[in-house]
C-alpha cells in the first residue's frame, strides 16, 4: 500500500516558528480581553502623503520599557487595492550580528515583490485622510470613488478595511501580530542553584531560536528567531478559498481541531511529497499565499507576499461579531492566522466586491495567465518513459491508426545520456530529429524534461560551465551546494542570479542543444527544489542564493525563478524565431501563471485522487493560476479500465490535459484499453477537441482579466449560498457549460446542482432541465454529465482531426442555447495560436448575439482597434466559415421556418433551416445549414 511518509515532513509543532506563533495565539486567546498586544503605532510618527501612510510601530519588549522600531507603510493603490508592509529598523540598517560567521544578508527579505509583482502598483492620487477623525485611529478613504476606508488603530496596532459601511477584513483584531525582532544570543551560564537573572522572557521558549534539527539536518539559523505573523479576520464571511497547493476541499476547512476539521495549519513549503494523501492540509509542490473570502454577494481577498515557509490557521467563530467590526451582524466570521519564518510583512487587501473583481486586481499585480498555444490546451500524451525514438514513433502511429487525437508526446528523464540534461541517450535517442520530423507531419509537438539539478560529473559541459561561471546555489559556508537527485550527486542552478538566467538561455539555443527543434518544448520538474538527501527532501534553509539571501527567505520562490528562466530561454532559442514558449512546472509561486502551466504532481491511480483533482484545479484558478491539470490515470499504480475511462472524461475538463504514468506502471495509452473503453475515451478526447474554440476563448479571458478557466459556482452565482462550497461541478469559462464529470466508482448517475431558474440542456441529447435544485442525470460509463445553460452561444469545431494543428482552417459550428426569453449571447477569441502576432492585432474577437425580438443572430466585432497585423490575419482567415448553427430550446414559431436570410458585409444570401421537434424530454432544436459566413466577418442572419 502506498502512503505518504508523515515523518519526513514537519508538523507545526516540529517547526519552531510555527509552534511559537501558535503558542502565542493560544496565550492571547486564553487571556481574552485582558490580552495586551505589545505593538503600538506611534501617533507622532504618522505621515500621510501621496496615497501613502508611513509611521513607526513600536514593539514593547521586556519590562525595562525597551522598544523595537518597526517601520510601517500603508500604500493605497489606484486599483483600489491596499498594501501594508512592516519591516524592522535594526535589520533594515544591517545593525545586527550574524552567528557562526555567516555570510547571509542581514535584512528581512524584501525582494519577493520583484518576482511576484509585475504591475498595478500605481499609487492612488485620490486617497485621503478621512476628516471624521476618531481618537486613537487614522482613517483613510480610498478605492473607487473613495468608497473604501482603512482604519488604522494606534494602540494596540490593528487595521480594518471597510466597504459600503461594513468591515470586510480585519488585521490584528485578535492581537496576534508578531514580528520576532533581532536579539543577540545570550549564552546562559549554567550555575547550579542560581536564579535566572532576567525572568521577563520566562514565557518564551527559546528552544528553537538559535538552532533547529529535523531528520538529521541541523539548521544553523544565523539570524536567530525572525518570524512574522498576523491574524486576518473576515467578519461575516463563512467561506475562504485559495492558498494552493493542498489536496483538500475548495472551501477551506478549519485547522484547529474539532469534528471534520484538521489539527494542522495549511502549510506552504514547496516540497516533493512522495505519495501525497488526499484530504490533508500538508504542503505540496507549490504555494500561492492568496486567499479569497466569500459571503452572499461579496468577495474580498488577501495576498500575503512572502517566499519563506508559511503556515495558515483557519478557524470559524460563530459567536457575536468583533466589537470593532462595522455593520456586521452576528454570523460566522472566518479567522485566519498567517505565520512565515522570515521576511518582511507584506500584505495586499482586495475589497472586491465580486470574485471577478478580486481576480482582476490580483492579476494586475502578479500578472495574468500566459496565452497558451493551441496545442498546449489540446491533449498531451506522456509517460515515464517513452524509451526510444522508435517507441515515440510507434505510439504516434498507433494514435493515428486508432483515430485518436493527440497533440504532444512527452519525454521524461530517461531520454538523456545518464540524466545529463541537454544531452540525448546515444543508444535510444540517437536520432531525435527523425522523431520530431515524424511528429511535425501531423502538426504534433515534442516536450522534453529539463530539471534544475545538474549532474556532478567531470567532462559534462553543462556542469563545467555552471561551476566555472559560479552560477550554482551555495551552502552556508559559501561553497557550491552538493546534494542528490536523479543523476546522483548534483548541483543546482541559481536562477535568482541574472547571470545564471542568461547562461540558462544559452543552453537552449539550437546550436548548443543539438537535436532540439522549434517543435520541442519543455517540462520543468523537481524545482521545489527536490533534493533527495536534504531536509524534508529539499535544500537546507541556510544555503545561500545570489545576493547572499538565505534559502529560508526564498524557498517558495525558487521554483518560479527556474520556470521563468526556462520560459525566457525558449523565447530566445534562435535569433529571429518568434514563437510562444510552453513550459510546464511542478513547483510554483504567485506569478508563475505568467510563464506556463502547472500540474498537481504525483497523484495515484485511485478514485479518491480522481475526485481530489477538481478542488485542486479550482483552488489554483481562484489563486490566479488556472492553467492547471492532474496526471490523467493517476501517476502511481495501474488504474482499472473504468477508472482510466472516467479519468479521461474528467481530464477533458482540465485546463491542462495530460495522461502520465510512473515508470513501474503498465502501458495505458488509450488504444491499449480495448473496447468499449478505447471508443469511450476517444469520444472524450474528441469532445475536448470539438470545444477547443470555447476553451481558447476562456484562456483568452484568463490572459486579460485573470478569470479562472474552470469557474466555481460562487464566481457565476455569488448570491447563491447553496453553491459556495461546491467543488465537484463547475462552469467552463463564460460558455455556460456546466460539467460534473463522474469521479466515483460504479456511479451510473450523478446529482447535479442547478443554481437558478434558467433552462439547462444536456450537451449530447438536449434533454431539458429546469427549475433550481438538484437534478439526477444518468451517467453510464460512456456519458459525461455536461449541461448547457440557456442564454449562451458556444463556438465549436466539429470535424474530428488527428491534432489541433490540423484544425486550423476548419469551419465552425455555433451552438445557440436559448434562455427562457429566447435570447443568447457568446464570444469567440481566435488567433494563430502560436506566435505573438495577436499583440499586433492578428486576432478575431467576436460577440454573437441572438435576439428573440428581431429573430436574428448577429456577429459583432469586439476588437477595439485594428493593429499592424489585423488586416493580413483577417485576410488569411477569410475562408474559415461557419458551417452550422444549432439553436437549442426553440419554440413553436420555428416549426415553419425554412429559410434564413443572411447579410454579410453588404452581400445577401439564403440558407436552409431544419426544425427538430421535441420528444421524450428532449427539447426542440433547429439547424441553419451552411450559412457560409466567415468567422471573422460582421454579419446578420435573420429568420422570417
Ligand atoms: C517526478 C514527477 O512528478 C513525475 O511526473 C516524473 O515522471 C518523475 N519525476 C520523473 O521525472
pLDDT at 2 over 80: no
Q: Which of 384, 598, 603, 605 to mutate to test the pocket of ligand 1 (most atoms within 8 A of CB)?
A: 384
Which residues 6+ apart lie within 8 Å of 691 measured at CB?
732, 737, 794, 796
Distance 660 CA to ligand 1 centre (A): 9
Can you tell me the mean pLDDT for 285-299? 98
Which residues 6+ apart lie within 8 Å of 100 measured at CB?
220, 222, 476
Structure letter (DSSP) for residue 624: T
User: With a 6 A CB cut-off, is 532 part of the ligand 1 pocket?
Assistant: no
**325 confidence band (pLDDT: 50, 70, 90):** confident
Query: Which amino acids are annotated catalytic?
Result: 525, 528, 602
Mind listing the pLDDT tens digit for each residue in 764-783? 999 999 999 999 999 999 99
Strand partners, 338: 230, 312
Q: Write down the H helix ranges in 623-765.
A: 641-651, 677-690, 692-705, 713-716
Mean pLDDT of the chain: 96
Distance 351 CA to ligand 1 centre (A): 39
Atom of ligand 1 nearest to the CA of 662: 7
Reading the block at residue 320, the C-alpha cell is 457575536
- CA distances to 244, 251, 335, 723 from 281, rounded to whole Å, are 10, 12, 17, 23
Q: Write down the H helix ranges in 274-322.
A: none
Alpha carbon distance 108, 36 (integer Å): 26
User: With a 6 A CB cut-off, is 272 part of the ligand 1 pocket?
Assistant: no
Distance 662 CA to ligand 1 centre (A): 7
User: With a 6 A CB cut-off, is 384 part of the ligand 1 pocket?
Assistant: yes
Strand partners, 928: 885, 913
- CA distances to 510, 520, 574, 901, 920 from 513, rounded to whole Å, are 5, 11, 11, 57, 61
Handedness of CA 202, 205, 210, 216 (dihedral sign): positive
**CB 300, CB 169: distance < 8 Å:** yes
Q: Which of 584, 602, 659, 665 to mutate to test the pocket of ligand 1 (most atoms within 8 A of CB)?
A: 602
Task: Give residue 1's pLDDT.
Answer: 56
Task: Give residue 766's pLDDT.
Answer: 98
**692 confidence band (pLDDT: 50, 70, 90):** very high
Distance 625 CA to ligand 1 centre (A): 21
Distance 578 CA to ligand 1 centre (A): 29
**Interhelix angle 692-705/355-366, nearest 10 degrees:** 70
Mind listing the pLDDT tens digit for each residue in 425-479? 999 999 999 999 999 999 999 999 999 999 999 999 999 999 999 999 999 999 9
Mind listing the pLDDT tens digit for each residue in 822-851? 999 999 999 999 999 999 999 999 999 999
Alpha carbon distance 551, 32 (integer Å): 37
pLDDT at 557 over 50: yes
Task: Give residue 191's pLDDT.
Answer: 53
Which residues 6+ apart lie within 8 Å of 891 measured at CB?
822, 924
pLDDT at 891 over 90: yes
Atom of ligand 1 nearest to the CA of 660: 5
Atom of ligand 1 nearest to the CA of 412: 11
Q: Is the pTM of this model over 0.95?
A: yes
CA triplet 524, 527, 531: central angle to 5 degrees?
Answer: 130
Q: Which of 380, 526, 637 to mutate to test the pocket of ligand 1 (most atoms within 8 A of CB)?
A: 526
User: With a 6 A CB cut-off, is 525 part of the ligand 1 pocket?
Assistant: yes
pLDDT at 326 over 90: no
State percent of the chain over pLDDT 90. 94
Reading the block at residue 655, the C-alpha cell is 485546463
Distance 817 CA to ligand 1 centre (A): 42
Reading the block at residue 724, the C-alpha cell is 459556495
233-258 burial, b for 16+ CB within 10 Å, e for fewer? Answer: bbbbbbbbbbbbbbbbbbbbbbbbee
| Domains of the chain as residue ranges with CATH | 6-183+214-320+329-366 (2.60.40.1760), 711-943 (2.60.40.1180)
User: With a 6 A CB cut-off, is 413 part of the ligand 1 pocket?
Assistant: yes
For ligand 1, atom 4, which residue shows the shortest CA distance? 602
Owner of C-alpha cell 515583490: 113
Atom of ligand 1 nearest to the CA of 586: 3
Amino acid at each position: 500500500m502506498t502512503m505518504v511518509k508523515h515523518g519526513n515532513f514537519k508538523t507545526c509543532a516540529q517547526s519552531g516558528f510555527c509552534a511559537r506563533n501558535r503558542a502565542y495565539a493560544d496565550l492571547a486567546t486564553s487571556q481574552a480581553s485582558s490580552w495586551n498586544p505589545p505593538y503600538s503605532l506611534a501617533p507622532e510618527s504618522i505621515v500621510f502623503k501621496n496615497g501613502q501612510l508611513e509611521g513607526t510601530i513600536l514593539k514593547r519588549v521586556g519590562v525595562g520599557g525597551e522598544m523595537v522600531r518597526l517601520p510601517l507603510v500603508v500604500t493605497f493603490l489606484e486599483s483600489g487595492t491596499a498594501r501594508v508592509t512592516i519591516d524592522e529598523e535594526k535589520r533594515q540598517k544591517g545593525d545586527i550580528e550574524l552567528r557562526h560567521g555567516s555570510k547571509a544578508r542581514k535584512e528581512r527579505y524584501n525582494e519577493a515583490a520583484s518576482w511576484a509583482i509585475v504591475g498595478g502598483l500605481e499609487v492612488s492620487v485620490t486617497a485621503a485622510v478621512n476628516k471624521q477623525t476618531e481618537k486613537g485611529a487614522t482613517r483613510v478613504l480610498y478605492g473607487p470613488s473613495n468608497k473604501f476606508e482603512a482604519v488604522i488603530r494606534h494602540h494596540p496596532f490593528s487595521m480594518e478595511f471597510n466597504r459600503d459601511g461594513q468591515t470586510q477584513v480585519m488585521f490584528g483584531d485578535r492581537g496576534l501580530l508578531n514580528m520576532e525582532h533581532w536579539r543577540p544570543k545570550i549564552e546562559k551560564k549554567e550555575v547550579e542553584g542560581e536564579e535566572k537573572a532576567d525572568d521577563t522572557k520566562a514565557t518564551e521558549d527559546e528552544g528553537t531560536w538559535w538552532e533547529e534539527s529535523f531528520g538529521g539536518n541541523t539548521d544553523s539559523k544565523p539570524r536567530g528567531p525572525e518570524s512574522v505573523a498576523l491574524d486576518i479576520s473576515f467578519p461575516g464571511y463563512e467561506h475562504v478559498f485559495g492558498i494552493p497547493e493542498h489536496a483538500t476541499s475548495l472551501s477551506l476547512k478549519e485547522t484547529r481541531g474539532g469534528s471534520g476539521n484538521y489539527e494542522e495549519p495549511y502549510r506552504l513549503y514547496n516540497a516533493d511529497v512522495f505519495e501525497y494523501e488526499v484530504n490533508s492540509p500538508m504542503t505540496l509542490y507549490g504555494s500561492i499565499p492568496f486567499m479569497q473570502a466569500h459571503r452572499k454577494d461579496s468577495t474580498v481577498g488577501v495576498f500575503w507576499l512572502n517566499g519563506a515557509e508559511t503556515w495558515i490557521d483557519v478557524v470559524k467563530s460563530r459567536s457575536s461579531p468583533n466589537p470593532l467590526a462595522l455593520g456586521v451582524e452576528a454570523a460566522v466570521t472566518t479567522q485566519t492566522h498567517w505565520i512565515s519564518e522570515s521576511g518582511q510583512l507584506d500584505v495586499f487587501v482586495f475589497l472586491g466586491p465580486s470574485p471577478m473583481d478580486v481576480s482582476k486586481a490580483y492579476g494586475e499585480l502578479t500578472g495574468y495567465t500566459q496565452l497558451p498555444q493551441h496545442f498546449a490546451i489540446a491533449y498531451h500524451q506522456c509517460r515515464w518513459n517513452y524509451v526510444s525514438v522508435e517507441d515515440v514513433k510507434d505510439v504516434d502511429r498507433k494514435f493515428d491508426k486508432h483515430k485518436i487525437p493527440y497533440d504532444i508526446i512527452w519525454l521524461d528523464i530517461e531520454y538523456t545520456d545518464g540524466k545529463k540534461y541537454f544531452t540525448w541517450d546515444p543508444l535510444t535517442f540517437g536520432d531525435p530529429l527523425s522523431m520530431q520530423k515524424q511528429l511535425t507531419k501531423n502538426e504534433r509537438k515534442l516536450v522534453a524534461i529539463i530539471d534544475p539539478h545538474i549532474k556532478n560529473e567531470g567532462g559534462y559541459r553543462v556542469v563545467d560551465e555552471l561551476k566555472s561561471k559560479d552560477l550554482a546555489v551555495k551552502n552556508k559556508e559559501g561553497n557550491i551546494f552538493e546534494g542528490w537527485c536523479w543523476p546522483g550527486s548534483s548541483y543546482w542552478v541559481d536562477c535568482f542570479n541574472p547571470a545564471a538566467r542568461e547562461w540558462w538561455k544559452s543552453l537552449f539555443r539550437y546550436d548548443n542543444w543539438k537535436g532540439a527543434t522549434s517543435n520541442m518544448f519543455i517540462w520543468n520538474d523537481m524545482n521545489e527544489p527536490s533534493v533527495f538527501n536534504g531536509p524534508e527532501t529539499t535544500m537546507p534553509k541556510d544555503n545561500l542564493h545570489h545576493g547572499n539571501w538565505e534559502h529560508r527567505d526564498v524557498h517558495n520562490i525558487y521554483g518560479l525563478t527556474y520556470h521563468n528562466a526556462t520560459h525566457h530561454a525558449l523565447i530566445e532559442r534562435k535569433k529571429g524565431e518568434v514563437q510562444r514558449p510552453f513550459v510546464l512546472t511542478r513547483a510554483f509561486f504567485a506569478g508563475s501563471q505568467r510563464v506556463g502551466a502547472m500540474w498537481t504532481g504525483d497523484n495515484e491511480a485511485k478514485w479518491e485522487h480522481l475526485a481530489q483533482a477538481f478542488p485542486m484545479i479550482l483552488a489554483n484558478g481562484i489563486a490566479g493560476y488556472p492553467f492547471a491539470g492532474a496526471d490523467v490515470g493517476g501517476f502511481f499504480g495501474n488504474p482499472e479500465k473504468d477508472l482510466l475511462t472516467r479519468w479521461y472524461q474528467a481530464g477533458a475538463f482540465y485546463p491542462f490535459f495530460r495522461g502520465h504514468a510512473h515508470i513501474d506502471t503498465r502501458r495505458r495509452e488509450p488504444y491499449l484499453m480495448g473496447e468499449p473503453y478505447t471508443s469511450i475515451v476517444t469520444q472524450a478526447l474528441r469532445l475536448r477537441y470539438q470545444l477547443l474554440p470555447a476553451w481558447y476563448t476562456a484562456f483568452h479571458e484568463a490572459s486579460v482579466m485573470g478569470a479562472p478557466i474552470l469557474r466555481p459556482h460562487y464566481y457565476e452565482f455569488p448570491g447563491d449560498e447553496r453553491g459556495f462550497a461546491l467543488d465537484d461541478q463547475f462552469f467552463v469559462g463564460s460558455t455556460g457549460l456546466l460539467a460534473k464529470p463522474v469521479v466515483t466508482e460504479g456511479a451510473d448517475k450523478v446529482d447535479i446542482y442547478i443554481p437558478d431558474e434558467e433552462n439547462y440542456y444536456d450537451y449530447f441529447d438536449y434533454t431539458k432541465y429546469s427549475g433550481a435544485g438538484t437534478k439526477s442525470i444518468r451517467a453510464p460509463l460512456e456519458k459525461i454529465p455536461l449541461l448547457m445553460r440557456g442564454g449562451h452561444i458556444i463556438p465549436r469545431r466539429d470535424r474530428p482531426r488527428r491534432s489541433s494543428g490540423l484544425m486550423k482552417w476548419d469551419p465552425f459550428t455555433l451552438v445557440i442555447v436559448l434562455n427562457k426569453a429566447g435570447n443568447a449571447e457568446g464570444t469567440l477569441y481566435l488567433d494563430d495560436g502560436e506566435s505573438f502576432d495577436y499583440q499586433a492585432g492578428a486576432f478575431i474577437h467576436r460577440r454573437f448575439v441572438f435576439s428573440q425580438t428581431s429573430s436574428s443572430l448577429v456577429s459583432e466585432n469586439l476588437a477595439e482597434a485594428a493593429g499592424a497585423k489585423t488586416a493580413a490575419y483577417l485576410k488569411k482567415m477569410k475562408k474559415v466559415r461557419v458551417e452550422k448553427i444549432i439553436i437549442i430550446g426553440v419554440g413553436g414559431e420555428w416549426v415553419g421556418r425554412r429559410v434564413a436570410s443572411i447579410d454579410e458585409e453588404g452581400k445577401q444570401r439564403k440558407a436552409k433551416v431544419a426544425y427538430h421537434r421535441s420528444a421524450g424530454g428532449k427539447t426542440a432544436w433547429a439547424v441553419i445549414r451552411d450559412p457560409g459566413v466567415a468567422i471573422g466577418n460582421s454579419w446578420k442572419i435573420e429568420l422570417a
